[in-house]
Chain A
C-alpha cells in the first residue's frame, strides 16, 4: 500500500470521528444529508441522524389523518412542547424512509406542517431533537391509493 493512500484512509477516519463527535460545524451538517435520505430502513435513518433509539414521548404530537385517500398528498404536521432543534418525518414503508428533515434555530416555534407522499399504508414517525436527545411519536396512516406509482 502506498503512502498517499494510507494518509487518505487516515484522514477519512478522522473526519468520520469528527462528524460523529459533533465537531463539524452546523453549516456543514446542513449540507444535504445523503446517507440519511438514502436510508432504506428505520434503523438506517436513525443511525444517520444520530438517534440510535428515540424514545416515544407524549410531548411530541404528530398531526396526520387516520386514512389518506390519496397517498400522493398526505398532510403531516409535527408539534411539540419540547425545545426542538431538529425535526424529521419518517415513513416506514416508503422506498426511502426519511421524507424531510427540519432545522429550527432559536426563536422558531416547534411546529411544522408539510405534505408527503406515501406508497402504501405505513407507520409514520415524527422525530424531534431537543437538548441533544431524540423523541418521537408514531401513527399508522392508511393509504387507499398509493402515491409512488405511475
Chain B
C-alpha cells in the first residue's frame, strides 16, 4: 500500500477548490538504472473524485505527469461535502483517501 494523499478542499462563494497531492514515483519507462537497464514504467493511470457520492472529477494520466502528482480543480459544492479520492496505477495498486470540505 502506498502513502496517503494530501487532500485540501476549501469552499468560497459556492465553489469548492480542491487540491490533491498524490505520493507516487510516476516512473516514465524512459529512465535507466545504474547498470543501464531501463526502469519499467509505473505510474498512476486513473483518478476519480467523488463529492457526496457523485462524480466531480475524473482524470487519466500518462507517464509524463510529474512525480508526486499535483492536481487542482474546482466544482460547485458546499462546506461539509465529503470527498472521496481514488487512484489506480499501472500495477493495479489502489489508494483511497477521504476529506471534508472546509
Interface of A toward B, CB cutoff 8 Å: 30, 32-33, 37, 72-74, 77, 91, 94-96, 98-105, 107-109, 111-119, 147-150
Whether the pair A100, B76 counts as a contact (CB closer than 8 A) is: no
Measured CB to CB, the closest approach of chain A to B19, in angstroms, equals: 9
B55 within 8 A of A: yes
Q: Which residues of B contact A74 (CB under 8 A)?
A: 66
B interface majority secondary structure: strand
Q: Which residues of A contact B71 (CB under 8 A)?
A: 112-114
Known contacts A109-B15, A114-B69, A114-B70: does B76 contact A32 (CB below 8 Å)?
Answer: no
Whether the pair B72, A100 counts as a contact (CB closer than 8 A) is: no
Q: Which residues of A contact B76 (CB under 8 A)?
A: 107-109
- Of all A-B residue pairs in the complex, the 10 with the closest CB atoms, nearest first, are A103-B58, A109-B74, A99-B64, A113-B72, A115-B66, A108-B75, A37-B62, A148-B30, A101-B60, A32-B45
19 A/B residue pairs, CB under 8 Å, sorted by A = A30-B46, A32-B60, A37-B60, A72-B66, A94-B64, A100-B62, A102-B57, A104-B57, A105-B55, A107-B77, A108-B56, A108-B75, A108-B76, A112-B73, A114-B70, A114-B71, A115-B70, A117-B63, A117-B64
User: In the complex, how many residues of chain B place their beta carbon closer than 8 angstroms to a beta carbon of chain A?
Assistant: 31
Measured CB to CB, the closest approach of chain A to B2, in angstroms, equals: 18
Whether the pair B64, A116 counts as a contact (CB closer than 8 A) is: yes
Q: Which residues of B contact A37 (CB under 8 A)?
A: 60, 62-63
A99 to B74, CA, bound (A): 20
